[in-house]
Structure 1
Amino acid sequence: MMFNWLSLITGLFYIVLGGVVIYYKFFFTTLEPAIAYAMGGLLILYGIFRIYRAVSKIKDSGNEE
C-alpha cells in the first residue's frame, strides 16, 4: 500500500520536473528549446501515467478489503 502512495508522489515529482525542464530549458546541461519541450513533455506524460497507475492500484486495493 505504501508503494502506491510513493508512486503517486513520484508521479507528481515527474510532472513538476517536466515543467521545470520546459521553463528553464535545463537538465544537467543547457538544452535546445525543441529538446527541452520534447523532454519536458515526456516527463509530464510519464508522471501522468505513474499517477494513473497508482490511483488505479489504490482503488483496486480498496475493493479487495
Structure 2
Amino acid sequence: MFKWLSLITGIFYIVLGIVVILYKFFIIILEPNVAYPLGGLLIAYGIFRIVRAIVGIKNDN
C-alpha cells in the first residue's frame, strides 16, 4: 500500500513542479530565476519517487 501511495505522491510532485514553472507561484509569487529551478527540482523528485515505487512494486512480486 505504501508503494502505491508513493507512486501517487510522485505524480503529485510532478504536477506541482509544472504548476510552479507555468504560474511562477508557490505559496508566494516567485521570480522566474527561482521558479524554474524549484519546478525542476520538484519534477526530478517526483520522477525519483515514481521510479523508487515501481522498483519496490516489482520486487514485491
Q: TM-score range by the shorter chain?
A: over 0.9
Judging by fraction of residues, say which structure has more strand. Answer: 2
Q: Point out 4+ residue stretches in structure 1 off by more than 3 angstroms.
A: none
Q: CA RMSD in A?
A: 0.3
TM-score (norm 1): 0.93
Structure possessing the higher radius of gyration over alpha carbons = 1
Aligned length: 61
In structure 2, stretches of 5+ residues that fail to align are none
Distance 1:33 1:25 in 2: 7
In structure 1, stretches of 5+ residues that fail to align are none
Distance 2:25 2:12 in 1: 16
Percent sequence identity over aligned pairs:
69
TM-score (norm 2): 0.99
